[in-house]
């Protein structure tokens, strides 16, 4: 390890891999399920936890460890743990904290599968969840009395509501609750929640950390104690491990994380500003344009934002007329995407976490601004809006 390097700098963290001394500039892919021992004694010492040598890839693998180390450094965490998906990271983080009789306080309008996990699986285990408007500190304080976990997602990924991490996590700590936050939208380049008092950060690494839409993965970062807890009581038994190849892809993708995030930010602000001026656009929900990027908690915007089209635009024709923006879920890759709320409205009933209940109009579309030329994206949107207007 080169100790003279500045490991607080994201560029250094992303470019270098201190773990490997053989001179390989890219860490090798340890595509192996098990690791052998040179002697009985070495095996015994390893089982006793004295060598740090890997044993079996469900529990630990050097390639996944490179990814975990980088992510921990980026988030300013003591430790991190990779998972097979963002949902495995979310369910693992929550399950490492709750037991029967506990209560979780969750912000409204979280990622839909996180909500389904809270609603479908947790009640079977005797854990209940209350949903509160994360911007209402008084309501949050009331709900947090006696709670075990505070679950945040800031900003949320359709309506971009921001929560005050420092204030809410301080209240949670006073009440003896652990704060978990989904940081997928901002990435550690634009938001580092542990510095503001959160206890565990979760990511869908399938999004910006990967950056190339070729991986489904997740990660949890936090103190050595909390991650140790996760390693002890959740990961080995639920078994949702991060595969070595996926970790290798993540390390590769993350080399350009900071560059990509700055490019997504620049382009999305330009596209959103142009859309806000468009006569057929009723409103644009974008954290920079909304003033949510305060330079303290949130220092930038990624490429994902929403807009609402006026009644003269046929949403179906608009989506079908786009060429660079492809219809698709997820986000965080190189490509631009459009996701119409109308599809969600058609399929889902009104419910406490649904787009309908949350007042997301069927005239809303969510855009992911990818890495294509900004002007080409604006031209694509402008042309599609013109073609879809009555």
Tell me which residues are annotated as active site. Answer: 58, 111, 182, 207
Q: What angle, 0 to 180 degrees and rounded to 10, lies between the N-to-C axes of helices 165-174 and 137-144? A: 20
How many other C-beta atoms lie within 10 A of the C-beta of residue 267? 21
Q: Which of 146, 29, 7 is nearest to 75 (CA)?
A: 7
Q: How far, in Å, CA of 40 to CA of 43, rounded?
A: 5
Residue position matching structure tokens 């290798």: 248
Identify which of residues 85 and 268 has a Cβ nearer to ligand PLP in the complex: 85
Identify which of residues 345 and 366 has a Cβ nearer to ligand PLP in the complex: 366
Q: How far, in Å, CA of 194 to CA of 201, rounded?
A: 7
**Strand 103-107 relative to strand 128-132: parallel, antiparallel, unpaired?**
parallel
**SS3 readout for 252-297:** HHHCCHHHHHHHHHHHHHHHHHHHHCCCCEEEEECCCCCCCCCCCC
Identify which of residues 211 and 384 has a Cβ nearer to ligand PLP in the complex: 211
Identify which of residues 64 and 206 has a Cβ nearer to ligand PLP in the complex: 206
SS3 238: helix
Q: How far, in Å, CA of 256 to CA of 367, rounded?
A: 22
How many other C-beta atoms lie within 10 A of the C-beta of residue 173? 15
Contact residues toward ligand PLP (CB under 6 A) are 85-87, 111, 153, 157, 182, 184, 204, 206-207, 216, 218, 330
**Strand 128-132 relative to strand 178-182: parallel, antiparallel, unpaired?**
unpaired
Question: What stretches of the chain show up as alpha helix (H) in DSSP?
Answer: 10-15, 40-47, 62-75, 86-95, 112-116, 137-144, 165-174, 187-190, 224-233, 235-238, 244-254, 257-276, 315-321, 341-347, 374-387
Identify which of residues 87 and 143 has a Cβ nearer to ligand PLP in the complex: 87
Q: In what order do the strands lie in the sheet with 304-309?
A: 281-285, 304-309, 364-368, 337-340, 326-327
Minimum Å gap between C-beta 242 and ligand PLP is 11
Tokens coding 377? 């994206």
């Amino acid at each position: 390890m080169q100790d003279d390097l500045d490991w607080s700098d994201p560029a250094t963290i992303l470019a270098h891999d201190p773990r490997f001394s053989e001179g390989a500039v890219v860490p090798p892919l340890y595509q192996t399920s098990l690791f052998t021992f040179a002697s009985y004694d070495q095996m015994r010492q390893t089982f006793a936890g004295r060598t740090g040598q890997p044993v079996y890839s469900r529990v630990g693998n050097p390639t996944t460890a490179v990814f975990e180390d980088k992510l921990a450094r980026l988030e300013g965490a003591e430790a991190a743990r990779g998972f097979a998906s963002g949902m495995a990271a979310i369910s693992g983080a929550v399950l490492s904290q709750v037991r029967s009789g506990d209560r979780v306080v969750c912000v409204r309008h979280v990622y839909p599968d996180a909500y389904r996990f809270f609603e479908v699986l947790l009640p079977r285990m005797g854990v209940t969840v209350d949903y509160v408007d994360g911007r209402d500190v008084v309501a949050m304080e009331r709900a947090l009395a006696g709670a075990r976990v505070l679950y945040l997602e800031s900003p949320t990924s359709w309506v971009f509501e921001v929560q005050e991490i420092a204030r809410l996590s301080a209240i949670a700590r006073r009440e003896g609750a652990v704060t978990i936050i989904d940081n997928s939208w901002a990435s550690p380049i634009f938001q580092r929640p542990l510095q503001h008092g959160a206890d565990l950060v979760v990511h869908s690494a399938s999004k910006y950390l990967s950056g190339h839409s070729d991986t489904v993965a997740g990660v949890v970062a936090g103190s050595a104690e909390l991650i140790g807890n996760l390693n002890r009581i959740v990961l080995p038994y639920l078994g949702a491990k991060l595969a070595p190849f996926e970790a290798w892809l993540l390390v590769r993708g993350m080399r350009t994380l900071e560059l990509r995030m700055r490019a997504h930010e620049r382009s999305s602000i330009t596209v959103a500003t142009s859309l806000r001026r468009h006569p057929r656009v009723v409103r644009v929900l974008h954290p920079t344009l909304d003033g949510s990027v305060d330079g303290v908690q949130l220092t930038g915007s990624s490429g994902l934002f929403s807009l609402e089209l006026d009644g003269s635009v046929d949403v179906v024709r608009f989506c079908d007329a786009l060429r660079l923006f492809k219809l698709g879920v997820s986000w965080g890759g190189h490509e631009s995407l459009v996701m119409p709320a109308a599809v969600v409205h058609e399929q889902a009933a009104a419910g406490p976490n649904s787009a309908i209940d949350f007042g997301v109009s069927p005239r809303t579309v969510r855009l992911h601004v990818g890495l294509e030329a900004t002007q080409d994206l604006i031209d694509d949107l402008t042309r599609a809006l013109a073609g879809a207007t009555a």
